[in-house]
Structure 1
Amino acid sequence: MAEYKTIAEAVRGFFKANDWKYAEEDGIFESGTPLDAPINSALIHIITDQTALAILTALDYNVPEESTFTVLEFCNLANMLLPAGCFYLDRAEQMLVFRLTEFIAEEGPMPDEAEIEDQLLFCLQNLQQTAKVFGDLIDGTLSVEDAVETVLRFEFPDEPPVEE
């Protein structure tokens, strides 16, 4: 396992070691979903500098005008109940944006490839789960309350567990 001086080097090392490709100039890679799903694509933004790693995700969605209120209600309720509210609806761009994890290493040892891998794979798993919940919310098979309850059961790193 290689040692890195910056988190940006650790992220690049993880991608190189696993033969993953991404657009390093803007730190984005894209994963598509079935064309008949309400979610068109999912973007993962990996933001790095010398001492920090933040991973933000955005879901490109198709929401009928009559479902906009439901989606806004979900975002508001989820943000109130999560220890660190993380959902934002960008109506102009038709994107549901949410923070999955933020790994800060300003103090302590620099993360190695295994820690970077854990963070990225965690994000991919939660992105997939959230896309499913959001799709079910949009098509009406899941209520706002049930969607929020499902999201609250997901594990978010560095946050206290949600008490039931």
Structure 2
Amino acid sequence: MIAILQRVSQARVDVAGETVGAIGAGLLVLVCAERGDTEQEADRLLSKILKLRIFSDEAGKMNRSVQDIGGGLLLVSQFTLAADTSSGNRPGFSQAAAPDEGRRLFDYVVAQARAAHPVVQTGRFAADMQVHLVNDGPVTIPMRMEPCPGSIQK
């Protein structure tokens, strides 16, 4: 799985002029399931997102997690993170999970996040979304969870 984390002072997702998810300070997380990803990668990714120390402490050092600050999570599905731009000028998306599997894994991440964190909002899977954010810092962190050695792929 792939994720892009953006530390934000605020963020929201609009679909057809309606706000479907919004947070104050916290993390906007773009999430992409790739072919072969399982709940195991999703669990590892979410654990890392919740514990990553990218918020400032009293001394101004990046030493606090989104959980430490009680910040929000805005999770947005983003299959284009799996883009292959190695040849030609049109990206390929063959490494992205099929839409049904991508939705299943995204919904799984959302459910697990809601069980572990008090403030979780989302975009709308497969919708034409407008994402508005104020990137704080700016701090933008790419993450990729590879399958664990010896894990069984579906």
TM-score, with structure 2 as normaliser: 0.28
Q: Between Structure 1 and Structure 2, whose CA radius of gyration is higher?
A: 1
**Bigger share in helix:** 1
Q: Tell which has more relative contact order, 1 or 2 (C-alpha 8 A, sep 6+).
A: 2
More strand as a share of residues: 2
